Amino acid sequence: MAATATRGLELAANKAAAAKPIRVAPPPALAVLALDQGSGHAATPVVRAGDRVCVGTLVAEARDPRATVLRAPVAGRVIALESRPTPPGDGPCLLIENDGSDEPDPVITPLDCARLAPEAIVAALRSAGVAGYGGGAFPTAAKLDEARAFPARHLLLNGAECEPWICCDDALMRARAGDVLDGARLLLRALDAARCTIAVLDDKPEARAALETALAGSPDVHISIVTVPARYPAGAERTLIEAVFGTAVPRGDRPPAAGILCHNVATAAAVAAVARGTPAVSRIVTVTGGGVASPANVEARLGTPIAELVALCGGYTGDPLRLIAGGSMTGRALATDAIPVTLGLNCVLVATRADLPDRGPERPCIRCGDCARVCPAGLLPQQLLAGLAAGDAAFVARHGLADCIECGCCDYVCPSAIPLTESFRVARAGARRAAGAQEFSDQLRNRYEAHLARLSAASETERQAFEAARAQARGRGP
């Protein structure tokens, strides 16, 4: 089955590293474990400086359901909790000095999957720290919880890795297709869902063949593989759902409301690893670009400095211009290669001038409409930009700023080199912060009202006790 093409761009791929074997980085001497692994919400440490930990020991819990439980990626001693640069920006990190023993925590054991109820599987994934390996790092258990609230459920595994440089999912599907399928089976059970579709781009025949080989002869008639045209941003969740199922998720709705839950293929492989007794303490990162000697996909423990991945790939070469976390379309510039690997870091792009051609200075909009023509979300980027410049929040909301997926297509085609996506990214982050502040103030108000209700109930109990005592006293009186 081949899905239909949508808007977007045809981009030249630079994914030669996908054909090479996955390299495994040695565990770092010092693991710098970011409390926010990329979801925008930090976990809360449960260890202190001086504590000894094994691989897999719980080191931070998720008091906010949007944060990810963290388990130690190395065995050794916690030496500090301090602010360090991380892919999303400076943030608190646990520093764990590796003692080289790689001793696993004995509490981590394989799951008895055949016996576990769906709720128990979700709880195990939460406890193991599994989160979206596609880049969002949103806790997998939270997504499953959300999806389980809706009746019809179809699991969509996203293998449509469409950014021009990123190929860690391609390498994973080629080398470990069986893990992806094992994870799919467990996610289906956790979801209590009937069907799973794995979507692969049509320029990844090796990945598709590996999945088909792994699926051949198995009784999984409810798991199928579809091919999606390799047109950026085919891997964006809503774009992929439309391409695979032929229907768009309505604006304002989330995919589970349409009965679909989308997970990355690497998340599925991480789920399979949890079933085997390995918590989420590592990931595969594409290390690529003209500025690295031998591009490769590297499996690294969380907390490994990017510099160590580049060194494993032969070091820097040529004239590196910029270090980017993610791909050339949606990635973010990094200030230093001391930044550690997180669950959300799928690619380190060491870009040269040739990789990122200079587009010249920004010029006025000429109203060519090219940005609207390519926008996969069907938005009018130039109108959105005008609304933002005018500070008209109602206008930008009406024109769908919330539906922008920050894909960068509009920037890519803009002949005036206007940084549209960055403007939308900043505006959307501001809106999220405002919504978060509103949510926080709602929580405070709810807590205060509950407190008043408790006081009122307590004073009513007190009053009743007082009245009863007085009545009793009267009864005993002269």
Q: Interface residues with ligand SF4 (CB under 6 A)?
A: 365-371, 375-377, 379, 381-382, 404-410, 413-416, 418, 420-421, 424
Q: How many CA atoms lie within 13 A of 420 on its CB side?
A: 31
Residue 368 or 426 with smaller CB distance to ligand SF4: 368
Residue 320 or 387 with smaller CB distance to ligand SF4: 387
Residue at token pair 């930009």: 385
- Surface-to-core class of residue 394, CB atoms within 10 Å of its CB (0-12 exposed, 13-18 middle, 19+ buried): exposed
Residue 81 or 386 with smaller CB distance to ligand SF4: 386
CB of 185 to ligand SF4, least distance (A): 34
Residue 3 or 407 with smaller CB distance to ligand SF4: 407
CB of 386 to ligand SF4, least distance (A): 9
- What's the gap between Cα 159 and its chain centre? 14
Residue 100 or 369 with smaller CB distance to ligand SF4: 369
CB of 372 to ligand SF4, least distance (A): 7
The 3-state DSSP class for residue 8 equals: coil
Dig out the tokens for 161 from the structure: 């890795």
DSSP tag of 335: S
Question: Do residues 86 and 342 make contact, with C-beta atoms less than 8 angstroms apart?
Answer: yes
CB of 233 to ligand SF4, least distance (A): 7
Residue 7 or 195 with smaller CB distance to ligand SF4: 7
Residue 133 or 232 with smaller CB distance to ligand SF4: 232
Helix axes 140-148, 118-128, angle to 10 degrees: 160
CB of 291 to ligand SF4, least distance (A): 26
CB of 10 to ligand SF4, least distance (A): 15
Residue 251 or 463 with smaller CB distance to ligand SF4: 251
CB of 361 to ligand SF4, least distance (A): 14
Q: What is the DSSP string of 257-281?
A: GGTEEEEEHHHHHHHHHHHTT--S-
Listed in sequence order, the residues at least 6 apart from 75 whose beta carbon sits closer than 8 Å to its beta carbon are: 53, 54, 55, 98, 99, 100, 101, 102, 103, 104
CB of 426 to ligand SF4, least distance (A): 12
Dig out the tokens for 405 from the structure: 């997926």
By DSSP bridging, strand 347-352 and strand 332-334 are unpaired
Question: Do residues 314 and 308 make contact, with C-beta atoms less than 8 angstroms apart?
Answer: no
Residue at token pair 């023993």: 101
Q: Distances from the Cα of 3 to the Cαs of 213, 246, 377, 397, in angstroms? A: 21, 8, 18, 31
Q: Does a cis peptide bond (omega within 30 degrees of 0) precede residue 233?
A: yes
Residue 366 or 435 with smaller CB distance to ligand SF4: 366
CB of 253 to ligand SF4, least distance (A): 17
Dig out the tokens for 264 from the structure: 């990355």
Question: Do residues 287 and 345 make contact, with C-beta atoms less than 8 angstroms apart?
Answer: no
